[in-house]
Structure 1
Amino acid sequence: MSKDNYVPQITPYLKNFINRWEEIKEKAETQQDRRKDDADNKRRPSKQYQVGDLVLLASHHRSNASQGKTRKFMPKRDGPYVISKVFSPTTFCVSDRDTKAIVGKFHTHDLTPFVSAPGDTVRPVQPHRPRGRPKTDRNRDTVAKPPTGRVGGLEGEYVAPSDGSARDCTSDGYVARSRRARTVRVPARFSQ
């Protein structure tokens, strides 16, 4: 509002608009703060785990009729596993208790403290398998990838490339085929 290029009749309206805008922003921020305080009061604190603690992992099994497994009767948690690293107050690296192999990174809501009697030897019912695509080993020597595109062994197959020319794939390579002339039948109402 300090600029002198405003039209004098509009300047009071703009000042009023800016004052209202500031009031609205301030009111929205106080409401957000109040909602956050209310939500934080209802939230229970997450369990704090240390390196070496035994935990159970939440398991996400699927039913499999061919193996006679029903998800309803599978355990909801499996383990015990060991906390091997703490990434943040809510994220932990979990590893197998016997082999020390890293199982994965998990949030607090996927973990439950494991309580057992001394001398118990409990093993996971169904060991945790990482989901998704397997990670590639970046340290191993790079192996030449197979060439992409046309795969060998398509002998005698009919291949229609994207340019529209039909070709026949033989052992000698590609041999162009002639295009067939299409005959179009004209409807009777247009033949007059």
Structure 2
Amino acid sequence: MITQKKRKQQAKTLRIFRKVHRYTGALLFIFFFVISVSGLLLGWKKDSKGVILPPSYEGTSTELKDWLPLDSLHQKAVFILHDSVSPSLSARIDRIDVRKEKGMVKFIFEDHYYGIQLDGATGNLLNIGKRHSDLIENIHDGSVLDAYLGTSGSIKLAYTSIMGVALLVFTVTGFWLWYGPKRMRKAKQQ
């Protein structure tokens, strides 16, 4: 049989966990909401029929020997960006995604969310697309604040650390809020 003193201690611990769980949830509610919605959208990005992420198109040749040099493809991508989207957009490249199996190269730009897909062999335009998934990803991990405020990743690091620890706290306190009363009931019955 459980002693009265031990039961009071368990109830006190349970109240502390409930308070931590409640205040942490109230304090970080908006962040958890943003992370959950953006995470859901990112999970659906490839199945969004081009709404979140433009589909990948196929070029004419999967043989790299038939392809134009990467620097020629880059120049074409920048020309198309300035000619077809806006001449004022930055041409700084974030990454170049070479899809040999599709015969295609994607140029993804750093300062905006446009992507240009070119046929690797001919350099012909396959697609100009707004990459909403990149914006959603930047919101999801907090790097949108670094870009907005001009910091170099420190906000993202703090944001992901705080949210990771908060999720861990929620997991532990939530488990205890579920298991603690069961444990107390079981001990009371013995």
Same fold (TM over 0.5): no
Name the one with the larger strand percent: 1
- Whose RCO is larger (CA < 8 A, sep 6+)? 2
Q: Which of these two proteins has the greater Rg computed from alpha carbons?
A: 1
Instruction: Give the TM-score range, shorter chain.
Output: under 0.3
Name the one with the larger helix percent: 2
For normalisation by structure 1, the TM-score amounts to: 0.24
For normalisation by structure 2, the TM-score amounts to: 0.24
